[in-house]
Amino acid sequence: MNIDVKKILNEKPIYSGKAKSIYKIDEDKVLIEFRDDITAGDGAKKDIKKGKGYLNALISSKLFEVLNKDNIPTHYIEYIDPVYMVAKNVEIVLIEVIVRNIAAGSLCRKYPFKEGQELKRPIVQFDYKSDEYGDPMLNEDIAIALDLATEEELKRLKELALKVNESLKKFFDERGIILVDFKIEFGRTKDGELVVADEISPDTMRLWDKETKDILDKDIFRKDLGDVVGKYEIVAKRIGCI
């Protein structure tokens, strides 16, 4: 595809989030720019980590390609060197879909799970994507009452999220990495199809080294454990991006 990135970047982004900016290419497509900004705790903690945008663009693109190969619909079209991804222009569903294989993070803060405990079966959790309300957890009735999705769509979101989990868990496992948990977002295409959207990167997943259990994701930044970009680089190398 012939996309004039420079020209597109001359226009204002149609959306700018904490770590990505979205530019319109045309009615059907957007250009996603992965920036070096890193935040935690809803932006309470902020920094810029050189090279993070590049690694997340590469890793996200690779993981969307893995999903597409496994026949899971996504918004992904192509990667553009160094920090860009071309994607379908979709309407983002305001539900953060979290899938957990191993207990960590807020699950252990809110419920009596032990950090590192393997879960009997994956947990799928829906959070309301709203900085204003602090991303509270949803149940089906609240999600429907808020018009975030229909009952059928909620079923489909769960089904697709579990498929994404199976696909990525296997992919990472074969590369010496445990997929502890992750957050994905979905979009509605013009035809009303639900597709995996946004990003899938170490900013939005927990990844542990299978042998050493070393943390290879944004928890390094959240918990001040050292060189976060160095860990993302390990992930990118293991999955064959660099």
Angle at 147 between CA 142 and CA 153, to 5 degrees: 90
Distance CA 204, CA 56 (A): 10
Asked if 195 is part of the footprint of ligand TMP (rule: CB under 6 A), the reply reads no
**Nearest residue to 217 via CA among 185, 190, 179:** 179
Asked if 198 is part of the footprint of ligand TMP (rule: CB under 6 A), the reply reads no
Distance CA 218, CA 208 (A): 11
Quote the least distance from Cβ 1 to ligand ASP, whole Å: 30
Between 24 and 49, name the residue whose CB sits nearer to ligand ASP.
49
Asked if 182 is part of the footprint of ligand TMP (rule: CB under 6 A), the reply reads yes
Q: According to CB under 6 A, which residues from 31 to 90 bind ligand TMP?
A: none
Distance CA 93, CA 95 (A): 6
**Nearest residue to 122 via CA among 88, 159, 165, 79:** 165
- Select from 152-160, 167-175, 177-185, 226-234 the region that touches ligand TMP (CB under 6 A): 177-185
Which among ligand TMP, ligand ASP, none contacts residue 39 (Cβ within 5 to 8 A by kind)? ligand ASP
Write the DSSP assignment of 152-208 as a string of letters.
HHHHHHHHHHHHHHHHHHHHHHTTTEEEEEEEEEEEE-TT--EEEES--STTSEEEE
Quote the least distance from Cβ 71 to ligand ASP, whole Å: 29
Binding site for ligand ASP (CB under 6 A): 18, 39-43, 218, 222
Between 16 and 189, name the residue whose CB sits nearer to ligand ASP.
16
Contacts with ligand TMP by CB under 6 A lie at: 98, 104-107, 135, 181-183, 204-206
